[in-house]
Amino acid sequence: MSAKKKPGKILNIADFDHNQIKFGHSVLNGLSVLEDFTLEEGKYLKSDFRSGFLSVFLVKKGEATLSLNMEAMKIRQNSLFHISPNTIIGETSGNVTISGISFSSDFLAEIGMPERSTEFFDYFSSKYHRIWQIEAEDAALVSAQVSAMVDRLTKFSTHPFGKEILIHAFYIFLFEIGALGQKYSEMTRMNFSRQESLVIRFSNLARKHFREERTVKVYADQLNVSAKYLTEVVKEYSGKNASEIINDLVILEAKFLLSRTQLSIGEIAAKLNFSDQSFFGKYFKRQTGVSPKSFRESALI
């Protein structure tokens, strides 16, 4: 591996394939560092795909609109934004140059996490906005941390403690971002009551486990409340009951799999933990008004 940094490249684990960001192998599986990489409109992100990584990126220059979970979000110079695992990433309009890192849960499990790391990850929960507009001085700090990561990656194989130094550089990056979170992050809703906190906790659990579990009682048990109480509180604060939120997540995932993958309808049913294809078909049609087959055919037109 060359010790010389190459600006504008994706370092070590990412490459572009079929207009998607595809994460592969590296010196440490599950870690990617991008420095001064330009996302060009219509060039890389032409079709929706689901992120398997947690990513933190700084916009160095330019302006763009990025589709995250089918919602358009504007980013510009000195925007610091994050993408959580399972986020559906769509086409970008506009051109931006970004620097940042992406990492997987397997990577975190491999290296272990230091004390207080949960304080960092709290800023990437649903209760905070995913885009922070930071000051130039802080943007320079983030940029410097990314450069440090790139330097450690290029020296990984030649330094006797290359792995250990790289992991510590990663930790430093996380805690610097966590410190910025205290300064810039804004809650999507302010002054959370106990009931609102319950709704947030339920939403986070549902996003994590909706593929395996669609029963409200299971989530209520994990939250130490009754299913009836959870349903009432979620309805009061979100306008939808708990089962509707779970169903929305399942249907969003089903639509994604039907329109963006080559999986058969039976395979999709199994992936979403339905007992059989027939049950999945009835569920999907009850929620959307069309069969999975009809939806797939219309999506491919």
CATH number at residue 200: 1.10.10.60
Q: Are strands 79-83 and 71-76 parallel, antiparallel or unpaired?
A: unpaired
Whose structure tokens read 């049609």?
285
Q: How many residues does the chain have?
A: 301
Average pLDDT over residues 100-119: 73
Does residue 16 have a pLDDT over 50?
no
Q: Tell whether 189 is covered by a domain.
A: no
Domain boundaries, position 54: 10-184
Q: How many domains does the chain have?
A: 2
Average model confidence (pLDDT) across the chain = 80
Lowest-confidence segment of 38-47, 100-109, 153-162, 272-281 by average pLDDT: 38-47
Distance, in Å, from the CA atom of 244 to the CA atom of 202, rounded to the nearest integer, reads 12
Across the range 165-172, mean pLDDT stands at 90
Residues 212 and 271 in one domain: yes
Q: How many angstroms separate the CA atoms of 57 and 103, rounded?
A: 12
User: Measured in whole angstroms, how far is the alpha carbon of residue 291 from the centre of its chain?
Assistant: 29
One domain for residues 136 and 218? no
Same domain membership, residue 134 and residue 113: yes
256 versus 188: which is more confidently predicted? 256
Name the token pair of 163.
Answer: 């792995």
Q: Is residue 169 located within the same domain as residue 228?
A: no
Q: Note whether 229 and 290 are same-domain residues.
A: yes
- Rounded Cα distance between 177 and 144, Å, is 12
In this prediction, residue 224 carries a pLDDT of 94
What is d(CA 110, CA 19) in angstroms, rounded to the nearest whole number?
Answer: 29
Distance CA 54, CA 71 (A): 18
Instruction: Examine the fold and report which residue of 134, 157, 184 is the final residue of a domain before the chain moves on.
Output: 184
Residue 273: pLDDT band (50, 70, 90) is very high
User: What does the angle CA 130 – CA 166 – CA 139 come to, to the nearest 5 degrees?
Assistant: 40
Q: What is the pLDDT of residues 34-86, one digit of tens each?
A: 889 888 776 655 556 777 788 999 999 999 998 887 788 899 999 999 888 77
Q: Quick one: average pLDDT of 24-42?
A: 71
